[in-house]
Amino acid sequence: MIGAIESPEVRLLNLKGRNFVDLMDFEISELRHFLETGHDLKQKQKRGEPHELLKGKSMAMIFMKSSTRTRVSFEVGMTQLGGHALFLQPSGTQLGRGETIADTAQVLGRYCDVIMARVFGHEEVTELAKFAGVPVVNGLSDLLHPCQIMADMMTIEEHKGKLEGLKIAYVGDSNNVSNSIMQGCTIMGMDVTIGSPKGYTPSDDILKKTSALSKTHGTTLTVVNDPSEAVKGVDVIYTDTFFSMGQERLKEKEDALMQFQVNDTLVGKAKSDVIVMHCLPAHRDEELTSKVMDGPHSVVFDQAENRLHAQKGILALIV
């Protein structure tokens, strides 16, 4: 796996200039190329080998919402690649005074080589991509979180040695993270089960598109309303917050989702070597117990670390 960045078949893939907004825009071979590049750059960094592939390049980072991992991993990643990243928020820019996304995109595209954006509505990031003239990376929208899932798939490969044929269950609120899991894991040949309470399952639109994808890839995509049924015999359990950024905290939703908490009992229903994942930040003892998060099955901090390496792989190939 490591070193495949130089292999003949991946050398033929040219991803330069592509946007990284939605995993559905990519073929399996393209996602594989991003993953291999991430693994390869991780090894290079661990060995202390220089890998300044983006020397002299600049990345604008627009944050409409808060962030710890995405902000720091992209900024540090760009530095390690020899480039520079600018942290931009509405309050310190003219976005806060109402300058449109289309105008902002056209200006930033003339200074910078790539734009990363964390937005509310998904259309904000597609609008940026339409007008920027440089590659745009989705650092989370209300619909999708593709960079997270690339780091997660790197993490699964590190712990399980493969992706194809594995079973992953996402339990909890259906959201941007679960949507990107359905897409990314399906493309890479995993069987995906979503376990969510009624009323909090994936939207018909995303389900329709991803079900069609799973048929093409010969995998299964299942939605159940019972957490125990969802995790039965799986290799990976994944969960996320009950309330994503921008969502109102509702008691009724909290009560429904507490039944889907990832705790020792639920973990005991999966394979004995199951890994437990969370994109973080976690709300300890809500969507997962502290005991599970700090326990032997948890790989949550490996996932956080791999944000750095996976995103360096993405930037190195598209910029």
Asked if 134 interacts with ligand CP (CB under 6 A), we say no
- Point out the residue whose Cβ comes nearest to ligand NVA: 244
Asked if 76 interacts with ligand CP (CB under 6 A), we say no
68 binds, among ligand NVA, ligand CP, none (CB under 5 to 8 A by kind): ligand CP
The Cα 200–Cα 193 span in angstroms is 14
Catalytically active residues are 118, 145, 148, 240, 279, 307
Binding to ligand NVA (CB under 6 A) within 257-316 occurs at: 279
* Under 8 Å between Cβ of 150 and 38: yes
How is the beta sheet containing 236-239 ordered, strand by strand? Answer: 221-224, 191-195, 167-171, 236-239, 275-278
Residue 89 burial (10 A CB sphere; 0-12, 13-18, 19+): middle
Angle, helix 69-80 to helix 300-318, in steps of 10 degrees: 50
Burial 142-168 (b: 16+ CB within 10 A, else e): bbbbbbbbbbbbbbbbeeeeebeebbb
In this chain, which stretch among 10-18, 94-102, 164-172, 238-246 interacts with ligand NVA, using CB under 6 A? 238-246
Asked if 40 interacts with ligand NVA (CB under 6 A), we say no
89 binds, among ligand CP, ligand NVA, none (CB under 5 to 8 A by kind): none
Residue from the set 86, 209, 280, 286 that interacts with ligand CP by CB under 6 A: 280
Residue from the set 37, 58, 73, 176 that interacts with ligand NVA by CB under 6 A: 176
Asked if 180 interacts with ligand CP (CB under 6 A), we say no
In this chain, which stretch among 4-12, 65-73, 84-92, 194-202 interacts with ligand CP, using CB under 6 A? 65-73
Structure tokens at 155: 């993490």
- Residue that has been written with the tokens 């991003």 in this structure: 34
Cβ distance to ligand NVA smaller for residue 127 or 152: 152
Residue from the set 19, 155, 175, 214 that interacts with ligand NVA by CB under 6 A: 175
The Cα 254–Cα 260 span in angstroms is 10
E strand or H helix at 303: helix 300-318
Asked if 298 interacts with ligand CP (CB under 6 A), we say no
Q: Where are the beta strands (DSSP E) in 260-316?
A: 275-278
Binding to ligand CP (CB under 6 A) within 146-165 occurs at: 148
Cβ distance to ligand NVA smaller for residue 109 or 184: 184
Positions that interact with ligand CP (CB under 6 A):
67-70, 140, 148, 279-281
